[in-house]
Each structure stands twice: as structure tokens, then as C-alpha cells.
Structure 1
């Protein structure tokens, strides 16, 4: 259920015709600080690995403290638009600031270096094929969201990135009542993570997507270690739970993620964290709980087989060129990380297919989310490895092997893109709807955190 004030505030979200790049997001926060000096101040909280200032806009003087961080993963730009809208509303509407009762600390983009490597698909035709072909996601130890300090059992991580350090200092400086990092997924329905069970918040969270005609995600969670609290609402994915799950099935934590998350770091301050995961493309099957007519174990086995095939293709390509590459580009570093990760996920799925109780019938949503996982991984990681090969060719290192492997991999990518399109016709969701759901989640979560 959405209260009247929140419903009214959602109407303030404008239409958008494209995603905003780094310069636009940071520039808008700077302009707001200039226009509203009595309520907003822009300050530098750190420096990116390539030397770019990391900026935070602080708005208001409410007793509660809220931290909002955009683009924690650089392929997730919905949050840039949401951060700009939140900042505008809090700067421009004194009554809203008073009613919410927060001092807001808004970081429009925490990973500018990585985000710039995705900006080629931020404008123009938006399809899964074009997205995957221009995709970048950092290697695990280069992801700002997953490089917070970790010491758990025999897992230890302290190679904190400069961007992560800036975020850590912000958390420790303001000791937030509420925090969110602005993530999004790609396909399927809308779902949420919360840092602790808060059943009273669930009705508002579940009502937000339905207001815009989007389904809740009722298929597979992002990872088997995740605990479901309600339809499309999960306890936050965290390093310790992931470690314990992998240990239980005989796999190692190393190579899955690097360190802990921002949510785990903020636990020391009692911070309540809410994250909404939003798809780019509409898929009503994501919310279909009806029987699919196939055994669930078979669905999981098929997913394992498809991911194992993908890992083999990528591994073969990578092994063939590693002796000839010279650039160590971000795309190559990421490919070196994700190729074995895909193989690990395939093995996890193969093991999971044998678990007791998985001989039941699968739901339509489970089948769809399993297929979406395969399509997403194929386009993401094949596209990124192609970019790694093109980086070598672009600097004049187009050896016969690199050029030949690029040609073959491009053909495979084209076939997998066609299969993804044939499996489901992608319909981009209006950006206004996605921003409104994310904005509404911030306001609902922040107000709940104060109660």
C-alpha cells in the first residue's frame, strides 16, 4: 500500500529519453549546489583510480542521515537519473525536506572510470544485443560495491579501492540512519533487498512496481545463498552467507567476489539498507507462478549445461590469446575474472539440481529467470571479451590469432543474440517508471528507517 504523500511525490518524476552519463550526473549536482547554496553543498569525498574527483551533494538539515550512492556497478545507470531527481526535489521543495526529515548525502556516481566504459549504450537504440556488445563490468576486486574489508573464516580482503575508501569514510562520517546503493538488473521482474527483516515495509515495496504495471520477480533469486523474506523481497546478499553456502557444496569462496559489501560495512552503525533491483526490459512471465509443465531439476540442469558451454567457449578463446595480448585492458582483466566465475556458477547449478525436492514441477517464472540468466551471461561476457580483443586490435596488436578468435567469437555472439531475441521479445521499460520505483523505494525505506 502506498500512502497519499508518496503517491503524489511519484508524480514529480519527469520523462527521460536516455540514460545520463557521468558528466551529466556530476554536472547536475554541481548546478544544484550553485543554485541552492542555503540548503546544499557539494564536497569532494575521494578520488577515482584514474584521478577523477568523487563528489557528494549534501542537502538539508534533518536529524536523520541518508546516504544514496549511484552507479555502484558501472553497467547500472538507472540510479544516475534517480540521484539527480532526488537531489532536485530535496533542493527545491522545503516542505518535502521537512516532511522526510533527513540530511541527504548523494553521490551521483561512485565509479566514474567504469561507468564511462558503458556510455556507448546509454543513448540510441536500446536492445539486449547492443547492450551486451558495449557492456563492461569490472573484475571482482575492482567492483566498488564488493571491495569493503572482509575477515570471515579463512577469507580475508583488505585491498580496498580508492572509491570504496571514499564510501567507507562517508558512512563513518555521517553514521547513516538509512542507506541505499542504486542498482539494477537487466531482465525479469522487480525485486528488493533489505538489510534486516522489516515486514511492515513490504506492502509499500511490492505496491511500487504494480503501480507501473511491472511484475514482481517470482523466479530464481540471484544466488542460492539468498534468504527469501516475501515475494520479491530478500535479505541482503552478503559475503558471509555466500561463503557458508559455497562451503556447504564443496566450493571455494575465492573467485566469487572479493570482499564485503557496503551494507555489511554499515552494519556497525545500525544502518537500515534497502536496495531495489530493476529490469531494463519488460517480461510479464517473471511474475507468473503457474506450473510450467517441466521438472524443476531439469530446468536447473539445462541452465548448468548452457553455462558450462559458455564457460568453455570463453575459456578456449582466452587461452588462445593470453600469450599474445599486451594491454591488460579493463575488459581483459574482467574477462579473466568472469570466465572462471561462469564455470563455477555452472558447477553450482549442476550440484543444486540434485538437491532433495527439486523433482517438483517448475513455475513459469522459474523457467523464465533461468533462461534469462543464460542469455544475460552469454551477451555480457561474450561481448566483454570481444571488447578485450578489439582493444588489442585497436592499439595495433591485431595478431593473426587475435583477429581469428575475434571473428569466430563475433559469429557466436551474433547467434546467441538471435537466440535471446527469439526466446522473448524485449520491450524496454520507460525510464520514468524505473526512476519512479527507485525514487519511491528511497522515500519509503528512509521513512520506515526512522520509525
Structure 2
């Protein structure tokens, strides 16, 4: 980040290979950078290292904003060559997940300042600071105060599924067909086609709990260091309920990628119209044609000791999941009632409204799927971490979707287009939402230093990139 947000110099750079120690090198900061600030920081770095950093435009956002990639490497760097087998790092694929902005800038800075680090990897690093600036700007209201949970919920934005960069790559499977590729997604496709990278990471973060990982193929030699990196900074692994029930488990808190073909089969098995629920595929699936090793580190804003507590509790696992299903169903029914009542009177097709029109109905659908999953679970006690994930997940979705619905209704109020019914819905939602805010606070846990979150992500991506460096990857389309 710029000098205004970075409060101290990074610790001395450890030697390449000691990836655990690299996690402690991110400088302290108390805010996430806004889009303009982030790009300015990258340009300052490029100006300070003109022989190492090259700025390239790779596309245009939906609202017309240029999209940039900064390539760090020795000698002339170009995105028009026939693939360099290097490393691609993409921030902001989900605009409500800003940890990656800090990680990406620290990575670029470290590469510029350490010839030893550059030499170890022996290839160019193509770093996209923010691939969805349109969405990121709608979250900037909480970036300056990330520990304020109330501010977070009321300024939260996550696009509807067919507007998310990460999930709008081309997809065709059974009855599903998707080719409505976003401009931002097209920019990433071009970048991957140009570089044919041996390593790709998209920078994500979650909300509460512990650290977990995704990769597109097993890598047993990585599992130990991936557990050690968060432990070195006092962070637990997330060992409770998985984010996606159909993702393979390679090791505690290490999962195979969320694959849309697997998701389709899983939903189909539950009796759901999978083709209607799945949009596109992911960057991981697109990069498979080049043999790319894909890797993700998920770090939480807030942590709780229950996240990795595998102590059995008195309640059965299936009953804990059913409790989650009931709570999701109740939230979906309430928010759905508000949305249905307000809908005929809404005149502003804001991004918030587009998002809640998709997400609110998904709560009741998710409740149905969770109930069906509970019926198939083995009869055993739940663990503390499983109970935590079920409860924290409900709080997260209520705060997220309720907050976006508040923003959609408030857009009408501020614009002077709100009818009495819209104002009534706004008041009713606000009253319930305030109770949800109070309930979520203690459950989601304590805020974590941004330097810790970015440090874990940074150390883990270096370890994974080092693994990819040693793989036999041709870079040829498959």
C-alpha cells in the first residue's frame, strides 16, 4: 500500500524455501486500500523499479474501467509472447474479499526488492491487483474500518452469481451451457492464454473461523507447510463443515477445487435443477488446458477458537446441520417476504437489488439441500468446529444478504423514489437486521490483523508456487 497506510517497514526477507518465515514479513496496516490507492501503489513500485515492473492493460470492466496487470521479472516482459510458463496472481475476483490486495502488493514489492526471490522462481510474475474494480468500489465503505462488523455488513456487496468474475468462465455439462462471459472474465482468459502459467492463484478470503485451502490436484508434500504457516502466526485451520460438500478432502483444511461438474452432479443427486443453478466455470477449470497448478488460500476476517476444535459435543452431527437448515429457512422466508412486498415498487435496478433477487431465494433452497444432506449423514456426534461453522455460516449469510437488501431499499429512499410500502419494508428490515447484527458479533469472533491474514496468504502462495516450479508443466493446451 501507499506510505499513508503502511506503518512500518517489512521485516528482513527470509531465504527462499523458508516459506513459513515469509508469512511474518507483511508490514502492519489497519485498512484495506481503495481501488485508486491500490493502483497508485503499484505504479509507485513500477516507477521505483522501471527495469523490473511492466504495466499492461488486459481489458475493460463492465462499467468501462481499464483492467491492469503488473508483470515483475528480469528483462523485457510482454503478455503477447507465446506463453512464458510463469506465475499468475489475481486479486479482487470477489470484490468483498480485499485481503488479496495487500498480499498482491507485498508480493510485488518483495519480488522487486529480492533478487534471490526472483531468481529462485526463475520466471515472470503477472499480478492483477483488482480484476473487479466496479464491485470493489461498492465495498470501499468498510475497507477503512475492517474491524467494525456493523460497518462491514451495511457496506457489503457481492455480485449475483452471473456477475462474479470467478464463476463466469465458459461451461458446458449435461443440460448446463454458459457462455455469457463478463468483460473481466474475458480479460483473465486472455491473460491465461498469453502466459500459459505453471502456477495460478486467485486471492480470496472468508469471514469467520480458520484458514483453509483449495488446489486442483493433490500435493501431499505441501500439506505440512500449509498447516505450519497459519500456526506460526497463531491462526487455526478450519476443520469443521466444508464450504462445498462435494469438494474432495485431501488433508485437514485442504480441499480439491470446487468443480462445477461435481457441483452439477451433487445438486442433481439432491433433486435440484442443477442447470438452473449453475452459471459458469472457474479460472481453475479454464487453466487446466495448460497444466497449470491452481491454488487458493482462504483466510478469515475474524477468528474463533472453535474453528479447529474437534472435540465431540452432545448433539448429533445431523441435528446440528438440521438446525442450520431451519435457521436458513427462517432467514430466507423473512427476507423473501420483505423483497416480495417491496418488489412491485422498486424503480432502481441497482447491483444490490440484482444480487438479492438471486441470493435471497437461495437461502430457502440451501435450507432444503442441507436438510437432505442431514438425512444422509452418519449417526455420530458433531464436533465443536462443525457446530461453529453451522452457526457462523447462518450469521454470515443473514448479515450479507440482509445488508444488501437494506442498501437496495435505501437507494430508493435516498433517491426520493421510495413509496410508503418501500419505506415500511425498510423500517421492518432494519429492525430485524439490528437484532441479527447483535447476535452475529460474539459468534463470528475477534478481528485479525491484516498483516497476519495477508502474511498467511503470501507465505502459502509462495510455497504452492515453489511446488508448481518443480512440476513438469509443458504449457501446451490439452
**TM-score normalized with structure 2 length:** 0.91
Q: What's the counterpart of residue 27 of structure 1? A: 40
Counterpart position of 1:235: 256
Gaps of 5+ in 1: none
What is the match of residue 206 of structure 1? 227
> Aligned with 1:201: secondary structure?
helix
Q: Give the alignment partner of residue 390 of structure 2, picking from 370, 393, 402.
A: 370
Cα distance in 2 between the residues matched to 1:340 and 1:296? 26
Find the residue that maps to 1:279 and give its secondary structure.
strand
Q: Does 1:226 align with 2:239?
A: no
* 2:330 is the counterpart of 1:309: yes
Over 3 Å counting, the alpha-carbon distance change for 1:356 and 1:13 in structure 2 is closer
In structure 1, which of residues 435, 438, 441 is the aligned counterpart of residue 457 of structure 2? 438
Q: Which residues in structure 2 correspond to 1:110-125 (within 5 Å)?
A: 110-124=131-145
Is the CA contact (8 Å cut-off) linking 2:17 and 2:463 kept in structure 1? no
Uncovered stretches (5+) of structure 2, i.e. residues with no partner:
1-14, 76-83, 471-478
User: Any conservation in 2 of the 1:19–1:123 contact (CA below 8 Å)?
Assistant: yes
Q: CA deviation at 1:12?
A: 2.8
C-alpha change, 1:125 and 1:448, in structure 2 (3 Å) is closer
SS at match of 2:347: coil
SS at match of 1:68: strand
Aligned to 1:415: 435
Identify the residue that residue 244 of structure 1 maps to in structure 2.
265
2:358 aligned partner = 337
Deviation at 1:123, TM superposition (A): 1.1
| CA distance in structure 2 between the aligned counterparts of 1:274 and 1:153, rounded to whole angstroms | 27
Q: Deviations over 1:365-386 (max 9, x none)?
A: 0000000110000100001100
- Residue 447 (structure 1) aligned with residue 466 (structure 2): yes
SS of 1:234 mapped into structure 2: strand
**Aligned pair in 2 of structure 1 residues 4, 263: CA closer, same or farther (>3 Å)?**
closer
Q: Distance in 1 between matches of 2:16 and 2:31?
A: 30
What is the RMSD of the two structures over their aligned residues, measured on CA atoms?
1.5
The 2-side partners of 1:395 and 1:27 are apart by 32
Deviates more, 1:260-269 or 1:8-17: 8-17
1:278 alignment partner, SS class:
strand
CA deviation map 1:419-440 (0-9, x unaligned): 122445x311011111111111
Q: Which residue of the partner structure matches residue 37 of structure 1? A: 50
Alpha-carbon distance in 2 for matches of 1:140, 1:390:
22
Aligned-pair CA distance for 1:124: 2.6
Q: Secondary structure at the match of 2:156?
A: coil
Q: Match for residue 427 of structure 1?
A: 446
1:255–1:316 CA distance, 2 compared to 1 (3 A)? farther
Q: Which residue is equivalent to 1:48? A: 61
Report the Cα distance in structure 2 between the residues aligned to 1:340 and 1:228, rounded to whole angstroms.
29
Residue aligning to 1:385 = 405
- Tell me, yes or no, if structure 1 residue 192 matches structure 2 residue 205: no
Change (3 A) 1:122 1:264: same
- TM-superposed CA distance for 1:356, in Å, is 4.6
1:266 maps to which of 276, 279, 287: 287
Q: Kindly tell me: are residues 88 and 408 of structure 1, through their superposed partners in 2, closer, same or farther at Cα, counting changes over 3 Å?
A: same
Is the partner of 2:89 in helix, strand or coil?
A: strand
